[in-house]
Amino acid sequence: MMRAFRGEILSVAHDPALVPDAVRHDADGLLVVEDGLIVARGAWRDLADRFAGVPVEPLAGLIVPGFVDAHVHYPQMDSMAAHGEQLLDWLDRHIFPAEMAFADPLHARAVAGAFCDELLRHGTTSALVFATVHAHSVDALFEAALARTMRVTCGKVLMDLGPKGLSDTPDIARAETEALIAAWRGRGRLGYAVTPRFALSCSDAQLAVAGELLARHHDVLLHTHLAENTRECVEVAARFTDLRDYVDVYDRFGLVGRRSVFAHGIHLAPRESARLAQSGAGIAVCPSSNLFLGSGFFDFTRAADHGVRLGLGSDIGAGTSFSMLHTAGLAYQAALAGGYRLDPMRALWLATAGGAALLHVDDKVGALGEGQEADFVVLDPAATPLLARRTRGASLADRLFALQVLGDDRAVSRTYVMGRCLWDRDRSRFGDFAQ
């Protein structure tokens, strides 16, 4: 059945720093949806006659594409706000013990459901997600995402140099990853990512397995961490003394290419940025995590100069918010610390179509274009008294910027997935889906 939604619609399909007409704005727009797909989108006055018989739901607020979280760890949602440490100590003291609890499939299932709900509450409809080393932790997330018809890419974490109780072996990594790809390929809107945790938690043999899997399966992504923390970088350099730099480590094992998504990429030499750009690999920029763990600031100027592909990640549980609005606001602040002025339209692109491109799903989501899946969010520019004061009478760019700096889940009044309302803030209700 066809349905239409009328309201103010905004999307940014391409990097507005590179493509002049990337921003598409319909002040009084119509989004026509059939079987979960967008069949038409434009000004209401242009489309009203053509779709005269179609029921129209008016939506107050600003309709934007569902957000894409390009790097997040679902098993870490209950470890957010763990006090006191930078990356390597934080992993040892807080994260690895929490991930060990995922040996219990019931625990994994409970957290996976809560995690997907939290994404929806924050307007995130697509995500690239770390699970744990346990294969069933991937099953749990895929089941939860499938039930909610969300677009989720995930993979079993490969880590044979992890702590006792949280490590696999190259043979187990290969076998379990193969089995997961075979079990989940082509189901719903799910995707698979080969997920070595990072260089330090994988032996050479394990990194080689990751490269093998990536080469064998052309429809999977590679998802890992890169150059996040200075101590991490020192340890990587000390281990791989014959290699030029951190990117070279991943390159040696065939892990750098257009299907690769690297989280962070803060401490990179110019050669590394150039190599990432040339290979088509992308970086998931995670500003709230970088601030929380004292990791540093991502260099937006360098990335732009080299043409590195970018998306935005919450990096829960080092990240401090599920909100991609809030993450965009922090990206602005992190960028400015390095002298780069992140435009609010570019920030919206990073949180939607930019991330979708990184995940290789930009033909399907991220821009509210005709033929795309109808994942969208209704933002409330008057969600709080302060936001209402700040946005009243403001320009579109100012309203968007205020939402990014002052907004969070409170500003997400509805989240639609495949044209169905799966989160309604005002009724405090999730939509119907098989649990």
Q: Which stretches of the chain bind ligand GUN, using CB under 6 A? A: 73, 87, 91, 95, 197-198, 225, 228, 289, 315, 318
Rounded to a whole number of angstroms, the minimum distance from the CB of residue 71 to Zn ion is: 6
74 binds, among ligand GUN, Zn ion, none (CB under 5 to 8 A by kind): none
Judged by beta carbon, residue 263 or residue 361, the one nearer Zn ion is 263
Judged by beta carbon, residue 76 or residue 352, the one nearer ligand GUN is 76
Residues making contact with Zn ion (CB under 5 A): 263, 315
Rounded to a whole number of angstroms, the minimum distance from the CB of residue 221 to ligand GUN is: 17
Judged by beta carbon, residue 318 or residue 348, the one nearer ligand GUN is 318
Rounded to a whole number of angstroms, the minimum distance from the CB of residue 55 to ligand GUN is: 45
> Position 139: which residue type?
D
Rounded to a whole number of angstroms, the minimum distance from the CB of residue 315 to Zn ion is: 5
Question: Please, which residues bridge with residue 57 across strands?
Answer: 5
Q: 129: helix, coil or strand?
A: strand
Dihedral of alpha carbons 120, 124, 130, 135, sign: positive
Asked if residues 37 and 368 have their Cβ atoms less than 8 Å apart, the reply is no
33 binds, among ligand GUN, Zn ion, none (CB under 5 to 8 A by kind): none
364 binds, among ligand GUN, Zn ion, none (CB under 5 to 8 A by kind): none
Identify the helix (H) or strand (E) that includes residue 213: helix 204-216
Judged by beta carbon, residue 236 or residue 276, the one nearer ligand GUN is 236
193 binds, among ligand GUN, Zn ion, none (CB under 5 to 8 A by kind): none
| Closest to 221 in 3D by CA, of 128, 300, 288 | 128
Rounded to a whole number of angstroms, the minimum distance from the CB of residue 200 to Zn ion is: 13
CA end-to-end distance (rounded Å), the chain: 24
> Position 368: which residue type?
L
Identify the helix (H) or strand (E) that includes residue 416: strand 412-417
Cis before 317? omega within 30: yes
Judged by beta carbon, residue 193 or residue 263, the one nearer Zn ion is 263
Judged by beta carbon, residue 262 or residue 332, the one nearer Zn ion is 262
Rounded to a whole number of angstroms, the minimum distance from the CB of residue 264 to ligand GUN is: 7
Judged by beta carbon, residue 263 or residue 387, the one nearer Zn ion is 263
Burial of 430 (0-12, 13-18, 19+ CB in 10 A): middle
Judged by beta carbon, residue 11 or residue 295, the one nearer Zn ion is 295
The number of residues making up the chain comes to 435
Q: Annotate 375-414 with DSSP letters as a single string.
A: -EEEE-TTSSHHHHHHHTT--HHHHHHHHHHH-SGGGEEE
Give the tokens for residue 397: 């760019």
8 binds, among ligand GUN, Zn ion, none (CB under 5 to 8 A by kind): none
Give the tokens for residue 284: 């998931």
Residue 307 backbone zone (phi > 0: left; psi -120 to 50: alpha; other: beta):
left
Dihedral of alpha carbons 163, 250, 192, 321, sign: positive
Instruction: Give the residue closest to Zn ion by C-beta.
Output: 315
Rounded to a whole number of angstroms, the minimum distance from the CB of residue 226 to ligand GUN is: 9
Judged by beta carbon, residue 134 or residue 197, the one nearer ligand GUN is 197
| Closest to 328 in 3D by CA, of 395, 228, 398, 407 | 407
Measured distance CA(415)–CA(63) in Å, rounded: 10
174 binds, among Zn ion, ligand GUN, none (CB under 5 to 8 A by kind): none
Measured distance CA(416)–CA(310) in Å, rounded: 25
Biggest alpha carbon–alpha carbon distance for the chain: 68
Rounded to a whole number of angstroms, the minimum distance from the CB of residue 290 to ligand GUN is: 9
Rounded to a whole number of angstroms, the minimum distance from the CB of residue 198 to Zn ion is: 9
197 binds, among Zn ion, ligand GUN, none (CB under 5 to 8 A by kind): ligand GUN
| Closest to 238 in 3D by CA, of 223, 249, 252, 251 | 249
Rounded to a whole number of angstroms, the minimum distance from the CB of residue 178 to ligand GUN is: 23
Judged by beta carbon, residue 315 or residue 380, the one nearer Zn ion is 315
Asked if residues 130 and 75 have their Cβ atoms less than 8 Å apart, the reply is yes
87 binds, among ligand GUN, Zn ion, none (CB under 5 to 8 A by kind): ligand GUN
189 binds, among ligand GUN, Zn ion, none (CB under 5 to 8 A by kind): none
120 binds, among ligand GUN, Zn ion, none (CB under 5 to 8 A by kind): none
